[in-house]
Structure 1
Amino acid sequence: MLRSVCFKNFVRFKEYQLLDFSESGPFIFIGENCSGKSSVFEGIRRCLKLQFSSSISSVFDTNQPSYFICNFETDFPRDNNNNILCGFVLLPPTTEKNEENDDDLTESQSCAKKVRGEDTPDRKQEHETKSSLTNRKEESVEISSTETNVCHPEASNQFCSGETVKEFNPGRQKHTTRFYKFAMKCGDRSDPMFINLVDKSEDGTNLIICKRYQISQTENQQVHKQFKSTILEQKKESMGVDKYIETIFKNIDKMQEDTSEGLESILELLTKDIIFTFPLRSVGPLQWSESKRLASEYREANYTEAENRCEIIKYFLEDNGEKFDKDKEQEYFKQVTQIDDYHFTLKDGKINLPKGKFALLKTPEGILEAKGFSIVISSKQYKTILLEEPDRGMHPQFVERMTQIINQEKKSKRVVLITHQKGFITPRTVSDTFIFRCTGTGHRIISGKSILENDANMKKLRLLTSHHVPDIFFARKVLFYEGDSEELFLGELKSQILSGDCSVTPKLFEKDDAELSNKQLKKCLIEYTFIKMNSKDNRKFYQSICKQLKLDHLVLVDREAVANMLVDRKPKGEKEDERLKAKERSRKEWETIRRDIKEEHIFFWLDGNIEDMVFAMCENNSKLESDLFKQNVKRKKGKLFLHDRVKCSNITESVRLLLDNCKPEHDLAAFIKRLME
């Protein structure tokens, strides 16, 4: 089973990343689109047998080495090797003066020429290359027949970043990028590391082995030891791996070629134990009512295409029980769906349903995903299962039941999945969740375990935020607030501004800036996720989570909360004096304090609480107070909007009135401007 992965300078990840899968899971990848979740699955796949790859993943910095390493726990007792390390290394280009003499070529360059039949110096071929991406955008560079070889002597260092490679021109500088796959067993014996130099095939359709090497652990023994301990002990620093690549891979061309197929044998064993699934992304070809393929003459072709996309179901139906436990699969499919209408069979070699062959075209996506899931989880051979968006089209209860089944199988199977649904994220799965975040200096991954740090925090998270955990982890920005009054007010404020029912910016900004500021305000509100803290005492806990996630946030609290915060920061003998000062401070002094704590991501109402802010706007504006009175919003009526006579229509109209009457000197204006920062 997959135990861990680590990588550096891989796709969008500049820094060293370590993902620990040592617990029982399931392990959950969440994050924005293009944050690198699928890239990690791609990296794992590329660490396995060569037939799984026809391209090479891109790198963040083409001038630095890139690597991706998997650590698998095995059950091969015959040789007492309990772990297998496998992966790939991509070395940056080396620049050399281009000469006609083949003696000046590096080993990988000469190898590439032999693979393509370029045995003589006078045989030259112009290569015009175009970068091609796989179905994972910007995450890999596809090897096509027109692309330059990875270890081709004319290959540009831009090859792995997905940019066009310039045509080779004799006399110019040559760039060589070298791609290696490797594997080694780690156990009682000191088995060698097997390394293959990889190139594209002559027709450009796949990757092939150019050279084979075997590295003994007795040579550079200390470097080998540091490398293995970094991976097996899951050290957070990459020094041991970086040193190994510097010592071994950068000098491998000087080593003698090996003839054994040790790497292929190891990877073949691993590949049998792991399976990947990808989302169906609509089983049928029909996506809108204007399609000409709705016509009856296209029905057979539509079915054929749909069946091809359901290959996993057909593969299962053709199995005689050797690879899948069919009784368990049926049990799990029923457990997830709670429906008896979908019995998949084979008829004349085609997928068939009780309502007829063409019923496949009308089968809901969630049902097909549930079938695919029940098939792979009931496998007799797969011990590591990687599921990409297995919840597409599923009802939330399907997701909950699917999680229960994964928990049933967690002792014998390691499940890692990518999701955009909140259903998988609960306080009990947080520690096995990995949050992928986009940053300007390279993406990063944060583990839920590192956020919680200890069992006390886990318990607190379960008690306080059972329904907010997914919101925090999926958010781009968060606005935390205290209670129900703020929830009703802020929700209505956001809705009215985004819908265009009310525009506050013309009153707060100069005429020339009003339109631009309105767009900026809408953009900020779209990015913010609003989360109720339930108590101001939870502020520190929430902010600590945001700090771990490097999540932009703002905490909205009453003035009293800030007064208590200032008291807590004073030494024991000064606390009472601080309490007395808080009662005597002027509004202007509170404004100074608000500026002073701005860097702490805190905003508070200068007049007290949200009710005080609202009625401070009514000073010198009797009409506003009268209009609010008509909406049952009155002074000395307790919490804003919470008494029984206030209806939803009253809340909507009250917020509209407040926005229409908001002026630059009001605290509401200061809050809106703070949201825009």
Structure 2
Amino acid sequence: MLKNICFKNFVVFRNEEDIEFRAQCPYIFIGENGSGKSAVFEGIRRCLKADMNTSVSKPCNPKEVSYFICRFKLDNDHEEIISGTVYIPLNKALHFCPKDTIEDIFQNDYGLSLLFGEDELDEDLSTSFSEEDFNGKEGGNKDELKLISTFKLDKTGPDASLELEDTIDTAAEKDIVTTPELGETKKIIPEFDETTEKAPGLADIDSEGHYYQFAIQYVINKRRRKLRVRKFCCDFLNLPKSTQDKGNIKVHEVRNLNTYALLELHNMLLSKSTHTEHTIQNILLQNLWYKKIEIARVDASMCEPSTTPCQSVLIDLSKHLVFTFPLRSIGPLQWSESERIKGDMKEANYEEALKRSEIITAFLENQERYDNSIEQDVFEEITHQSAEYEFALDGGGKLQVNHNSMKLLKTPEGILEAKYVSILLSGKCFKTIILEEPDRGMHPQFVQRMILAIRRQAEANEKVVILTTHNTAFLTPWTLSSCYRFSRAEENKCRVNSVGKLVKHNLKTLRIMTNDKLSDIFFARRVLFCEGDSEILFLNEMKNVLLSTMRSTRELNPIYTTNAFLSDNKDTLQTVLSDLTIAKMNGVHNVSLCRSMCRSLCLPAKFLLDKDFKNLNKDDTNCFIWSNGAIEEMVLSMRDSCNDEKLTQIVTDLKLKPIENGKKRKGKDKLFMKENVTQKQITQCVEALFRNCDPSNDLGKIVVFLVQFACS
């Protein structure tokens, strides 16, 4: 199972990001298009066997080291694999200064929680390490171990120290170097030319840097408190030079690897320790130092990924993961002008539908790889229509629905997606399932039932399920703990935030505040918070009115033709309003909570508040405060000052009246809250107010406030 990932300078992510998979499935990735969700799935694929990829992922900054690392826990519960992909620019390799001795690896104090993580320690662990020989007595054949590292605990508590012991099996190392099948070992990374900062021998492969794949196998003995490195292997990725290479990446085994701080790397991924002299980047540079490593140059006929030790590990690992992802631009969407909808194209369309249904066909052809009872139960649980959509192969091996080939063409997209999910959940060897937008064409009730089905199967069969979505139906108070929000920051660079960590201590308050519509906030690009129902009605109507350029097919919106102030700000206003989510926070006492949450999410937020907020002596940054007290007083003030008969009549019809100084409006005394107020009256009132807005009144100041929001 995938336990966590860590990446830096990867595609659209400049800073280091990490995501843990420890909470309740499914893990949900949300965020606008282009915020990096698919890039993370791409990164996970890059950590698997090379023939799963036809390209490499470019770094965000080609002058800096880029990496994507995954930590997997195997079924036997005492083995883990860390796999990753690394890009090292030539300028970084040239100027890197490596550590000289193995004694430099650990200089800090650690506790057991650093080694194993507090939540992964057994309660019956003894208080000291075993002093038995560490040369592989419990880890299998000694000859298999390229490096065995074990810790000995001198004492417990905050001052506990870990002592590193290493042994390298020279015989095994010798076997690696002289394996004849892999061809000669040749140093194809020569000394750098310091005047040009290029490695001449590889200039024809990549002009800026080199790509590597690596895998580290760990053995964990919790009872004896041992963590050992069984194998560390790495490949150099030789990228295709032209389209004639058919997109194949050739792999070359990297030999003579350093074994620097591999246990430290595990600990850093496991516990996110910050009190260490090391960084992941430095560990990778140390172990892949160009002056030390050697790369096997092999014949083209010997370049299959399975020929290297690293690819052997990754191929086995890849068997336990499965992905779904859309192939852009070849989906099911058609249009009425297409030649393909004509009757004589039905057979061709059916053949195309068969290709798109490859998952179902593969399931029916290889049912021994799946648990059929689980698949049937999940499909029925999601759709409640399994009897209406029975999939089978005909005598020629082609897919039919209810014994009818052509019914496949009319099977709803949501039904097909539900079938795909049920099949993947039933896979006997799939321990990590990654689904890109599995809700296409699904009714919201399908989505809710799918979440429950995923959760049950993940718990019962120890699976990790990760998915992306743009569907707010996935976000409920019960899925927030497993949700990650992706966002675009400055210069279109992206970042990731754990929603679960942000709402952990305030979930009840947030649920009450938003009437369980938290998804409105977490899917937003910008948020304008207001206090209550009157403001929500006014602001949403304002948004609708100001986004309407045309009143009808022949008449421009008079708001912009009669008000020069609005006309001057029209483009900016419409830009900010099209991205704006308006949310109610049920009173000024929630301003601090909303501000803190949005700041953590890197979500731009502003606040529209009554005048009594000033009495609280709170931070009024990014706040607009009604100068006359509240929104109702703003409306009455504009009625009295604008000399607009239509506005006067509308306010009279709404039965909005002044109140005594010092008193607060309640219930039906608020704007639009009387029972007989219609939607037409709300629209007419907002239009009349904006016809008369200018920079001197509160409504004009709100326009300026929103324009500034667009520029911030």
TM-score class normalised by the smaller sequence: 0.7 to 0.9
Q: Which residue of 2 aligns with 1:56?
A: 56
The 5 A counterparts of 1:528-567 are: 528-563=580-615, 565-566=616-617
**What does residue 601 of structure 1 align with?**
622
Instruction: Name the amino acid aligned to 2:674.
Output: H
Of the three residues 373, 377, 392, the one matched with 2:421 is 373
| Alignment-derived partner of residue 2 in structure 1 | 2
Would you say 1:318 and 2:365 are equivalent positions?
A: yes
Name the CA distance, whole Å, in 2 between partners of 1:366 and 1:237. 49
Distance of aligned partners of 1:419 and 1:20 in 2 relative to their CA distance in 1, 3 Å threshold: same
Aligned to 1:209, which of 251, 256, 263? Answer: 251
Of residues 162, 170, 189, the one that matches 2:228 is: 189
Corresponding residue of 1:170:
none
Find the counterpart in structure 1 of residue 281 from structure 2.
242
Residue 308 of structure 1: aligned partner? 355
After the TM superposition, which residues 27-46 of structure 1 pair with which residues of structure 2 at under 5 Å, given as runs? 27-46=27-46
Q: Distance in 1 between matches of 2:310 and 2:361?
A: 32
Mapped contact 2:647–2:685 kept (Cα < 8 A): no
CA distance in 2, matches of 1:451, 1:185: 34
Aligned to 1:675: 706
Shift of 1:284: 6.5
How far apart are the structure 2 equivalents of 1:216 and 1:76? 28
**How far off is 1:39 after superposition?**
0.7
Number of the residue aligned with 2:223: none
Match of 1:177 in 2: 209
Alignment root-mean-square deviation, CA = 2.9
What is the DSSP-based 3-state SS (H/G/I as helix, E as strand, rest coil) of the residue aligned with 1:342? coil
Equivalent residue, structure 2, for 1:664: 695
Distance between the aligned counterparts of 1:242 and 1:44, measured in 2? 18
SS at match of 1:489: helix
Shift of 1:466: 5.1
Query: Cα deviation per residue 1:266-322 (whole Å; 9 max; x = unaligned)?
Result: 212211111001247798756101111122222111111111011000001112x32
Pairing of 1:83-482 with structure 2 (within 5 A) = 83-93=80-90, 107-108=187-188, 152-155=202-205, 175=207, 177-187=209-219, 188-200=227-239, 204-205=245-246, 206-213=248-255, 215=257, 217=259, 220=260, 223-235=261-273, 239-251=278-290, 253-255=292-294, 261-279=308-326, 287-319=334-366, 321-339=367-385, 340-347=387-394, 348-354=396-402, 356-411=404-459, 412-441=462-491, 442-452=493-503, 454=504, 456-465=505-514, 467-482=516-531
In structure 1, what is the Cα distance between the partners aligned to 2:360 and 2:200?
A: 36
What amino acid does structure 2 have at the position aligned with 1:186?
Answer: Y
Shift of 1:189: 2.7
Which secondary structure state, in structure 2, belongs to the residue aligned with residue 426 of structure 1?
coil
Deviation at 1:27, TM superposition (A): 0.8
Deviations for 1:399-440, whole angstroms, at most 9, x for unmatched residues?
000000111022211001001101111122212111111122
Question: Is the 1:69–1:88 Cα contact (8 Å) retained in structure 2?
Answer: yes
Q: 1:664 to 1:326 in 2, by over 3 A?
A: same
- Comparing 304-313 with 629-638, greater Cα deviation is found at 629-638
Partner of 2:634 in structure 1? 613
Range that drifts further, 383-392 or 408-417? 408-417
CA 1:284–1:52: 2 relative to 1, 3 Å: closer
**Runs of 4 or more above 6 Å deviation:** 280-284
Q: How far apart, CA to CA, are the structure 2 residues paired with 1:311 and 1:150?
A: 46
Task: State how far apart, in whole Å, the 2-side matches of 1:150 and 1:494 are.
Answer: 60
Tell me the distance in 2 between the aligned counterparts of 1:183 and 1:662.
65
Give the whole-Å Cα distance in 2 for the aligned partners of 1:656 and 1:176: 58
Letter in 1 for 2:218: C
Matching residue's letter, 2:401? L
- Alpha-carbon distance in structure 2 between the residues aligned to 1:561 and 1:468: 25
Q: What amino acid is the match of 1:612?
A: E
Name the SS for the 1:491 alignment partner.
helix
Partner letter of residue 301 of structure 1? Answer: A
Unaligned runs of 5+ in 2: 95-185, 191-198, 220-226, 299-306, 552-556, 659-667
1:86-139 Cα deviation digits (max 9, x unpaired)? 011111135999xxxxxxxx94468xxxxxxxxxxxxxxxxxxxxxxxxxxxxx
Deviations 1:372-410 (A, max 9, x none): 011001111101000000001100000000000111022
Asked whether the equivalents of residues 426 and 466 of structure 1 are also in contact (C-alpha less than 8 Å), the reply is: no
- Measure the CA separation in 2 of the matches of 1:626 and 1:465: 34
Conservation of the 8 A alpha-carbon contact between 2:66 and 2:86: yes
For residues 14 and 176 of structure 1, do their structure 2 counterparts lie closer, same or farther at Cα, with a shift above 3 Å needed? closer
| Residues 9 and 549 of structure 1: CA distance in aligned 2, closer, same or farther (over 3 Å) | same
The answer on whether the counterparts of 1:283 and 1:361 sit within 8 Å (CA) in structure 2 is no
Q: 1:328·1:378 contact (CA, 8 Å) conserved in 2?
A: yes
Residues 1:644 and 2:675 aligned together: yes
> In structure 2, what is the equivalent of residue 14 of structure 1?
14
Deviation at 1:626, TM superposition (A): 3.1
Q: Which amino acid aligns with 1:427?
A: P
Distance 1:268 1:256 in 2: 20
Q: Within the alignment, does 1:628 sit opposite 2:650 as a pair?
A: yes
Per-residue CA distance 1:484-537 (angstroms, 9 max, x = gap)? 111111111111111134555667656xxx645111111111111011112222
Per-residue deviation at 1:177? 2.3
> If the length of structure 1 is used for normalisation, what is the TM-score?
0.79
User: Please, what TM-score do these two structures have when normalized by structure 2?
Assistant: 0.75
SS in 1 for 2:33: coil
Q: Distance in 2 between matches of 1:68 and 1:554?
A: 36
AA at the equivalent of 2:284:
I
The whole-number CA distance in structure 2 between the counterparts of 1:620 and 1:90 is 66
Task: Tell me, in whole angstroms, the C-alpha distance in 2 between the residues paired with 1:150 and 1:42.
Answer: 31
Counterpart CA distance in 2 for 1:418 and 1:96 is 36
Structure 1 residues 478 and 151, CA gap change in structure 2 (3 angstroms) = farther
Q: Percent identity?
A: 36
* 3-state SS of 2:228 partner: coil
CA distance in structure 2 between the aligned counterparts of 1:83 and 1:154, rounded to whole angstroms: 37
Does the C-alpha gap of structure 1 residues 285 and 543 become closer, same or farther in structure 2, counting only changes over 3 Å? closer
Alpha-carbon displacement from aligned partner over 1:199-258 (angstroms, at most 9, x marks no partner): 1368522112223326464xx4xx333322212223469943111122121336545869
SS in structure 2 at match of 1:617: helix
Number of aligned residues: 570
Alpha carbons 2:188, 2:297 under 8 Å: kept: no
Q: Is the 8 A contact 2:321 2:432 kept in 1?
A: yes
Structure 1 counterpart of 2:495, one-letter code: R
User: Partner letter of residue 53 of structure 2?
Assistant: S
Q: CA deviation at 1:447?
A: 0.9
SS, match of residue 616 in structure 1? helix
Change (3 A) 1:427 1:284: closer
User: Shift of residue 629 of structure 1?
Assistant: 4.0
